[in-house]
Structure 1
């Protein structure tokens, strides 16, 4: 098989999307030594590939999600680096297009073409606040939880409280001396190198991105959430492929074939749902984008968890204890898919549907 054919085979493509972005992700990822584990090299790759992945909501959303899925199929850790960087680039583009970020406004933060981005929007027990000083500069003060790769990245988009009930998004340099990423606690066995710990901010300058509450209300918030679902689908696809190989062995029994069949059905359903959602995003035909996102994430998370369990049952302890790539992928996905809050997110979906 030629190199081009192998790359095309490695790409995961949704529906009738163009394979170009997915193939480009596969091609460039294959050249990275230590993809997903050597973080500096992986971050550099994510920055370089970002301008070759289409923005969401502009007619090529399926291409974008195919690229994310392909990255996850190559390595889950690599996708965990790429996805927030792509999300940040899309958020900044959305803010500029809506007038919420003036062109050149990020110059004060020394943003250039080599900038690597995180998105820190989760809320924890501690609180990050933003305030304006006498000169009209915005400053961040407090602690932000769940800041993935803060010690490695150059910049981040961070939500901070501007009143007791209102949050706003800000861009900040993580290399400012007043920004102090913590080393932990981070004892995760999955995504072990992708440290997601707290960061202390002691009044670094920040640039507001959009108006108050814009981050959660913009359409792209939901597009990004479904992009993560595409990562789960791509990340678990090699696990299903391992079940397929087991089912094809001469000594395979009906149980092996049944487990493979269930995994194949789950992944097919997720693929179809993601392709349909991408079409709705691009056409603007979704009546309720929040509910669509909740449905897509529930389906993708559920199928991912089922395929992981099917692999445990069908493949046994062997690959979990002797196959580095398989064992790491299984552990990485179990952490990653916890961005879906299981029964609590399903309860939110139920409330949305019941409310009509």
Structure 2
């Protein structure tokens, strides 16, 4: 296991951020977008759970910078904190503020127990009313249910369920206005960040298969060479899609812009699923042993790919194509 995922802690993980030199501002040019996606791709290629938390930190700081009206706060948190965004409500107990008291909680809270700060939402399922709040998790720690996250991959992301009770509302800092969190194009466009990480995961599978074949002295097997070639094509195609999206993000607008994000998200997911199958074929059952490097990458990527509402994105893409909002080009 990578040292990055052995022990995440509030004190040690932020120190790793400067190593990536990653920007936590909204990209203003295709070059800046490509730089951000390239850095996330590199993080995903190295360690998917770490990259997941890194992406959440970037997302949180971008949101605070964009909506809070407090640039100094964003700068401070970017340099000395480890932040995340927790939006999914705890089933049966959504986060809410009642009579000046915070109640309920969040599910799929990545980095719970390690982050220093989190952006949480109330009215999470109402795009017009959803409200962002910044929580200092060291001053206002939640109860953490660590038994829930029993999945085959991404264990090191520390994705748990969290809840608060009897916490005064003034312990939270309001960020932005109602509806800001769901504002487009940033809400849907944020998918490009984790898609770049998925692409990095595909590259990691290529790296692992190549190393495995060399170590096992099977790098001249013609069938394995075909698999390695296909893995290379999948990894390069996924990276090229992210690179192309960096240009389209600034040259398109409205439905075309968001439809292209859906296209990249779906296409990279398809490439990743193909890469997973190729990796399993190339390495065989050996790659399913816990101590084989491929095992962790395979299971982490399988879990990370399960992003919400893929059918809705296919519908969005198909509708934009039917209306002539987007068309293939070179």
Q: Work out whether the TM-score is over 0.5.
A: yes
User: Residue 317 of structure 1: SS of its match in structure 2?
Assistant: helix
Residue 38 (1) aligns with residue 1 (2): no
Where in structure 2 are the equivalents of 1:51-66 lying within 5 Å?
Answer: 52-53=22-23, 55-59=25-29, 60-66=32-38
Alignment match, 1:136: none
Distance 1:274 1:42, change over 3 A: farther
CA offset digits 1:233-257 (Å, max 9, x no partner) = 1122021234445677567444322
Report the alpha carbon displacement of residue 47 of structure 1 after superposing the two structures with TM: 4.4
1:236 lines up with 2:206 in the alignment: no
Moved more, 37-46 or 295-304: 37-46
| 1:301-312 paired onto structure 2 within 5 Å | 301-312=269-280
The verdict on how the C-alpha distance between 1:70 and 1:47 changes in structure 2, with shifts beyond 3 A counting, is closer
Q: Which residue of 2 aligns with 1:167?
A: 130
Secondary structure of the residue aligned to 2:138 is: coil
Q: CA deviation at 1:207?
A: 1.7
TM-score, reference length from structure 2: 0.82
1:295 aligns to what SS in structure 2?
helix
Select 1:285's aligned residue among 252, 256, 264. Answer: 252
1:224 Cα deviation after fit: 2.2
Which residue of 1 is the match for residue 328 of structure 2?
none
Instruction: Specify the alignment match of 2:232 in structure 1.
Output: 264
Shift in Å, 1:269: 1.8
Alpha-carbon contact 1:246-1:252 (below 8 Å) kept: no
> Which residue does 2:46 correspond to in 1?
74
Deviation at 1:230, TM superposition (A): 0.3
State the Cα distance separating 1:265 from its structure 2 match. 2.0
**CA deviation after TM superposition for structure 1 residue 345, in Å:** 4.0
Please give the per-residue CA displacement for 1:55-91, whole angstroms capped at 9, x wherever unaligned: 3422201001111111111111221221101111111
Alignment of 1:215-226 (within 5 A): 215-226=181-192
- State which of 337, 347, 355 in structure 1 corresponds to 2:305: 337
**CA distance, structure 2, for counterparts of residue 54 and residue 161 of structure 1:** 26
Q: Identify unmatched segments of 5+ residues in structure 1.
A: 1-31, 134-138
Quote the Cα distance in structure 2 between the aligned partners of 1:163 and 1:78: 28
Residue 298 of structure 1 and its aligned partner are, at CA, apart by 0.7
* Distance in 2 of aligned mates of 1:259 and 1:340: 30
2: CA distance, partners of 1:162 / 1:225 = 18
1:91 maps to what in 2? Answer: 63
Matches for 1:200-211 after TM superposition, within 5 Å: 200-202=163-165, 203-204=167-168, 205-211=171-177
* 3-state SS of paired residue (1:125): coil
* 1:327 matched to 2:299: no
Note the aligned Cα RMSD (angstroms): 3.1
- Residue 216 to residue 149, structure 1, CA distance change in 2 (3 Å): same
Could you tell me which runs of 5 or more consecutive residues in structure 2 were left unpaired when the two chains were aligned. 326-330
Partner Cα separation in structure 2 for residue 124 and residue 84 of structure 1: 19
1:129 aligns with 96
